[in-house]
Amino acid sequence: MAIALPYPYPQLDVPDNPWDSFALLRNLQFLANRIDTVGGAGEQSSALLRFTSNPYATVTGGTSEVSIFPTAQSIAGGVLGTTRTLRMTAIGDVLNNTGGSSGFTLRAKYGGTTILTITSLLFTSSGTRKGWDAYGYLAAAGASNRQYSRGSIQASFNIPGVSGAVSDDGNGTVYSSSHSSITVDSSTTQSYDVTIQPANSAVSVRVFGLLVERI
């Protein structure tokens, strides 16, 4: 006989003989599979890298590309697999004190390969910092060595006391070029990096939080 459980659970064996070891093993295997499916990363979003502080990183005083991480970061092999996606979310602000419009470029790199190159909107020169948030995705394209990426930056427009906060394409968003021919081997551990490159040495970019998760 068996006990019917609510969907999506199948049935658990209730042996006529309470010492039926095979039925007990089947039940243990069933429960182990449910724990792995429901509680594990198999069906859940999984945070891989999470950083936040006030600020977490500041890039200023130059035009070189600078990693926001003080130490090397990596994504374990098998995390991306052949059907999953890495989602990067970052928030920060920028101070453009150049006397003219300027901005910065944010890049994400997986296994040393640049997977996102997102150029910000042009922030007008001001003594007031302006907020931004960036999003980037790296999706496995059916194989562990084939990926596709996409990303964008959005900036604050309606900042109290600041007029003409940014100039843009009319939508408030500048998208990175899509990358459809990434061939990083995700079956092995790969480095993950996020960099900021100010367009002018008088542009200061701060990052307050960054999250990389598997979805």
194 and 107 Cβ atoms separated by less than 8 Å: yes
Task: Per-residue pLDDT tens, the chain, 215 aa: give them.
Answer: 444 444 444 454 555 555 555 555 565 555 555 444 333 334 445 889 999 999 999 999 999 999 999 999 999 999 999 999 999 999 999 999 898 888 999 999 999 999 999 888 788 888 888 888 999 999 999 999 999 999 988 876 544 444 444 444 444 455 566 777 899 999 999 999 999 999 999 999 999 999 999 99
6 and 68 assigned to the same domain: no
pLDDT at 65: 97
Counted domains in the chain: 2
Q: 115 and 210: one domain? A: yes
Q: For residue 55, give the nearest of 93, 89, 87 by alpha carbon.
A: 93
Q: What pLDDT, on the 0 to 100 scale, is given for residue 45? A: 58
Q: Which amino acid is at 101?
A: S
pLDDT at res. 150: 92
Q: Are residues 192 and 119 in the same domain?
A: yes
Same domain for 101 and 151? yes
Q: Are 136 and 175 in the same domain?
A: yes
Check residue 176 and give its pLDDT: 64
Please tell me the predicted confidence (pLDDT) of residue 171: 46
Residues whose CB falls within 8 Å of the CB of residue 186, separated by 6 or more in sequence, listed in order: 75, 77, 78, 79, 80, 81, 111, 140, 144, 145, 147
Domain of 53, in residue numbers: 46-214
Which structure tokens are listed for 155?
């900036």
Q: Are 79 and 124 found together in one domain?
A: yes
Query: Among all chains, which residue has been given the structure tokens 């089947």?
Result: 26
Peptide bond into 55 cis (omega under 30): yes
> Residue 28: its pLDDT value, please?
56
Pair 70, 130 in one domain: yes
Cα dist. 66→34, 76, 105, 184 in Å?
Answer: 44, 23, 10, 22
CATH code (residue 203): 2.60.120
Q: Report the pLDDT value the prediction gives residue 92, as an integer from 0 to 100.
A: 93
Q: Are residues 180 and 120 in the same domain?
A: yes
Question: Residue 38 half-sphere exposure, CB side, CA atoms within 13 Å?
Answer: 8
- 23 and 97, same domain (yes or no): no
Q: Are residues 149 and 201 in the same domain?
A: yes
Q: Cis peptide before 8, with omega less than 30 degrees from 0? A: yes
Distance separating alpha carbons of residues 163 and 157, to the nearest angstrom: 8
Q: Based on the domain organization, do 50 and 144 belong to the same domain?
A: yes
**pLDDT value of position 198:** 96
pLDDT (0 to 100) of residue 139: 96
